[in-house]
Amino acid sequence: MPLSPTELAKLLELLAQTQNHELNCEQCLALVAEFAESQLAGQSVAANLQAVQQHLAVCGECREEYEALREALISMRENGPDE
């Protein structure tokens, strides 16, 4: 299963971010709405949401979904809820 230099670099980055205790994707999903709202409000990351931030750092799929959620919330804030 050959890995390209890019894939190896990605794995090293993941290993650097790996923690002994991490949320799984389902646990992240349960908290990501609260995390997104707090981020958009410019609040520092609360202790109970730090695990969400860590999960988003190691899970590309949850990060992609979070970024789309964030885009939707920003657009709603700028254009109003019904536009």
Q: Closest distance between another protein and the C-beta of residue 45, in Å?
A: 14
Helix (H, G, I), strand (E, B) or coil at 27: helix
Q: List CB contacts of 48: < 8 A, sequence separation 6 or more.
A: 31
For another protein, what does the binding mask look like between residues 34 and 63, x meaning CB under 8 A? x-xx--------------------xx-x--
Q: Would you say 37 or 50 has its CB closer to another protein?
A: 37
Under DSSP, the state recorded for 59 is -
How buried is residue 23: exposed, middle or buried, by Cβ count under 10 Å (0-12/13-18/19+)? buried
Q: Which two tokens stand for residue 30?
A: 């349960």
Can you tell me which of 42, 44, 47, 81 binds another protein, judged by CB under 8 A? 81
Where along the sequence are the contacts to another protein (CB under 8 A)?
1-5, 7-16, 18, 20, 22, 24-26, 29-34, 36-37, 58-59, 61, 64-66, 68-69, 71-73, 75-76, 81-83
